[in-house]
Amino acid sequence: MQVRPTTYADLPDVMAVYAIARELMCRAGNASQWAGGYPAESFIIEEIASGHSFVCENEAKEIVGTFCLIHGDDPTYSLIYDGEWLNNEPYATVHRIASSGKEKGVAKFCIDWCFTQYSNIRIDTHRDNHIMQHIIQSMGFTYCGIIFVSNGSERLAYQKIV
């Protein structure tokens, strides 16, 4: 597999991956994290324009995953409850990892790639997203506390420094 920046031409495939991921999350008991068609296509277009959106392709050049990687302060991470961050050094944040389900290990592959770019990474996930919690914890992230995203919903926050 390989990771590359998302292009506007990738948008239909990226949105299809998010639709599949929403369905997989619902079947796994996490129906509320990406409810209402989140993320919207307009939001992904903004991420592409800002250079934050990436796709993961298999050897056949088929898009099997997508995610957002942002370097710099994330406003939703400025306040953390019931814990603290491992440090206050510059960091990158991984958001919205999604897999088509056609390849195994896409999330881990994408996160590993992020660590080739940055050594201090923060990530969060919904309390009901047990699959992502397992992936994050198995990759050595430390649970740091609770943050609240822009719509006010709670997320479990993690950080890893390599």
- Per-residue model confidence (pLDDT) at position 54: 98
Please report, rounded to a whole number, the percentage of residues in the chain having pLDDT higher than 90: 81
Handedness of CA 2, 45, 11, 25 (dihedral sign): positive
- Does domain 2-161 match CATH 3.40.50.720? no
Place of tokens 């992904």: 44
pLDDT above 90: residue 142: yes
Output the six-digit token pair for 50.
Answer: 């800002």
The per-residue pLDDT for 11 is 97
pTM for the whole structure: 0.92
pLDDT tens digits for range 85-94? 999 999 999 9
Q: Which two tokens stand for residue 1?
A: 């597999």
In this structure, what token pair is assigned to residue 13?
A: 């495939």
Question: Residues 29-87: pLDDT tens digits?
Answer: 877 777 777 889 999 999 999 999 999 999 999 999 999 999 999 999 999 999 999 99
